[in-house]
Structures are given as structure tokens and as C-alpha cells.
Amino acid sequence: MIVGRRAGLFEIAFALRGSILPSIAGRLAVLLLVSIGAVLTAQRWPAALERLNALPFTLIGLSLSIFMSFRNNACYDRWWEARKLWGGLIIAARSFARQTQGLPAEQREPLLLGLAGFAGGLAARLRGKDERAAIARWREVPGIAAAPNPTDAALAAVGADCARLEGLGAVTPIHLSVLETRLTELSHVQAACERIKATPSPFSYSLMLHRTAHVFCLLLPFALAHALGWWTPALVLLIGYTFFGLDALGDQLEDPFGLEDNDLPLDAMVRTIERDLLFSLGREELPPVIEAKGYRLT
């Protein structure tokens, strides 16, 4: 995710980091060639394009922009929901740490390290990495090698430890109920993130917008070439940048857990949870905060 950046006039004109331009540069290059070809056609055979005007494209472009706005709003809702879920995960982890402060260190440490493993495992699961290895950095979970959902197994191990402590009399039934509420919140976060990851926007809807945007931008130069001449490529590139950019941005926001510039900084949020839990355990040497590199936070 791009953070801490305040774009000035120069950056508005030339910045590439965080811009959608690199991902659509190929399409814009094709559009430039088509625009040049349209202008040359209009100059060489003016009668071929003189009856084609921009009015139909005005109506189509208006409709297309509205539909793209709807799609981008839906994709942004997915991104923002994912961010709220991870914010809730941080809150639940901190609350669990606070609610176990009365336990002895040897009983409390496996619980909090298990939550650190859960957070790391969830991030790895959402990004297609090795979640078992991410969990094992903090705690060994029995039977995790055969578990279909290792991250859920890590959370279940923490819940089993809490139930064991209740059996030993270390926590009261009411205290156990409070801790289980926090674990249920964490389980809800995992399930909701998995839902976002496993349920993309309807393919037919996205495909229709992709096709319409490309056909519109590729035909537009032929409607403008007769009237605008060599100004056609500049105007068409500006329109293409807008439509192709919105299209590509929607694709990025649709999966907020990836590694692209506009995706969520899961690594940084996991590190926040790890530092909070370790500090709660009284550790003095904490893993370093993950800083943004080139305004990009992962």
C-alpha cells in the first residue's frame, strides 16, 4: 500500500510509484498506434470517415463510465471491508492479551504466541504462502501437518489451552467465556477474509466491462480523426488512460490481500500484532517495525 505520500505538481505529472500507468502502458501504446493509423486513414481517404462522428461515442462513454464507477465502488467496498476486518483482528488480539494478564507467565505465553502464529498464518494463507511455516515461527501445533486449515488449527489450539486452564481452575468459567468471545471474533475475521479471497466479482460482469472499454477506446480514434487531425492521439490517450486505469484499479482492489501497490499491508499489520503480544509478555527485544520503502508498505 502506498503511504505517506503528498503529491505535488511534478509528481502528479510524472510519478509512477503507486500509479496505475505501468500496468496499462501496453494497452496505451496499442491505442496510440491505432490513433495514428486513424489519422493517416482520415488524411488519405477522408470520405471513409467523414460520416462517422463522435455523438454515439459520447452516449456510450457516459454509460460506460457509470458502469465502471459501480464496479470500482464494489471493489473498493471489498478493500475497505478487508481493512476493517484486520483492524478488528488487531483489537481482538490486544483485548485477549489484556484479559489474560492475571495468568502466570508459563500459562500465558503459549496463548499469546499462538495468536501471533494465527495472525502470521492467516496472512500467509491469504497470500498463498506457507502458512504452516508462518505458524511454526511462534508455536508448534499438534497435528497441524494434516490439518486442512492450519490457521484455524492454530486458533483451535489456543482455545483448547484456555479450556484446559479452566479445567485446572486457573480461569473461571466466566473468564473462559470472555476469552472464547475474543477467539470467536478472530475466527469470524478469518472466515470473512477467506470469503473475500475466494469470492471474486462475477466474471461475466467484469468481462463485459473489459470488452466494452477496449472496443470503445479502439474505435474512438476513427470518430475523432476527421475533425481533430493530429490532436486525436492526445485526446484518445487521455480517455484511454481514464477507462483502462479504472479497469485495472478495480482488478487490484478486487483482491485486497495481494502484493500490488494498492493492496493491504498485511506484513506490517502482522508485525504490529506480534510486537503488541510480545510486549505484553514482557519481552524487551521486539521485532522491528516494518517501514515503508519508497512509500510502499507491504
Query: Is the residue at 146 inside a domain?
Result: yes
Which of 190, 204, 191 is CA-nearest to residue 71? 204
Query: Is the residue at 17 inside a domain?
Result: no
Lowest model confidence (mean pLDDT) among 2-6, 7-11, 102-106: 7-11
Lowest model confidence (mean pLDDT) among 13-27, 70-84, 185-199, 258-272: 13-27
pLDDT of residue 12 exceeding 60, the answer is no
Tell me which of 18 and 39 has the higher pLDDT.
39
Q: What is the pLDDT of residues 222-270, one digit of tens each?
A: 888 888 889 989 999 999 998 888 888 888 888 999 888 888 999 999 9
pLDDT of 4 = 55
Q: What is the pLDDT of residues 141-157, one digit of tens each?
A: 888 988 999 999 999 99
Residues 261-296 as b/e (b if ≥16 CB within 10 A, e otherwise) read bebbbbbbbbbbbbbbbbebbeeeeeeeebeeeeeb
| Other CB atoms within 10 A of residue 94 CB | 17
Query: Is the residue at 98 inside a domain?
Result: yes
Work out the pLDDT band at 5, boundaries 50, 70, 90.
Answer: low
Tell me which of 119 and 60 has the higher pLDDT.
119
pLDDT of 193 = 96
Average pLDDT, the chain: 88
pLDDT of 82 = 96
pLDDT of 184 = 97
Query: Is the residue at 9 inside a domain?
Result: no
Work out the pLDDT band at 21, boundaries 50, 70, 90.
Answer: confident
* Grid cell for residue 283: 519481552
**Letter for the amino acid at 142?**
P
pLDDT of residue 14 exceeding 80, the answer is no
Query: Is the residue at 297 inside a domain?
Result: no
Q: What is the pLDDT of residues 48-59, one digit of tens each?
A: 677 777 777 888
pLDDT of 133 = 95
Query: Is the residue at 71 inside a domain?
Result: yes
Query: Is the residue at 133 inside a domain?
Result: yes
The number of folded domains in the chain is 1
pLDDT of residue 11 exceeding 60, the answer is no
Residue 129 to residue 298: CA distance in whole angstroms: 14
Domain extent for 163: 27-280
- C-alpha angle 241/245/246, rounded to 5°? 125
pLDDT of 148 = 94
pLDDT of 174 = 94
pLDDT of 87 = 96
Q: What is the pLDDT of residues 150-189, one digit of tens each?
A: 999 999 999 999 999 999 999 999 999 999 999 999 999 9
Q: Averaged over 114-126, what is the pLDDT?
A: 96
Query: Is the residue at 236 inside a domain?
Result: yes
- Report how far apart the first and last C-alpha atoms of the chain are (Å, whole number): 6
Which of 179, 264, 260, 227 is CA-nearest to residue 55? 227
